[in-house]
Amino acid sequence: MQVVYPCCCGLDVHKKSVTACVLWAEDGGKSRKEKRSFGTFTRDLLRLADWLQQCGVTHVALESTGVYGKPVWNILEGVFEVLLVNAQHIKAVPGRKTDQKDSEVDRRLAAARLAARKFRASASDA
């Protein structure tokens, strides 16, 4: 896969937690990654955004079902290019399912620009 975004992040969002995996593309086709978990209160999401900025992240792939992703989207939207990843694409990936693995898959999809469509929240959803 060709890397399009040299520093990006995948997020797996749930009711009480957000799992993040940041990937840095390095020379020679190698990559480095770091994973962290955050709560879903506003202060936790602001800490997430600060950490992503410190990491140099430019693009974030967000996997979320239902309304849990909306607060995350709202915090990150003005700072990063946020991509909504279709959860059905993630579920089709074989292997053991964990939040950290899901966030890593999201991050890989964003890095390869296979991720999905850009999501624009309509005024009625806000």
Cα–Cα separations (whole angstroms), residue 87 to 45, 61, 79: 21, 11, 23
Domains, the chain, ranges and CATH?
Answer: 7-112 (3.30.420.10)
What DSSP element (H or E) covers 103?
helix 99-112
pLDDT tens string, the chain, 126 residues long: the values are 556 677 888 888 889 999 998 888 777 767 788 999 999 999 999 999 999 999 999 889 887 667 888 999 999 998 998 888 765 554 554 554 555 555 555 555 554 443 333 333 332 344
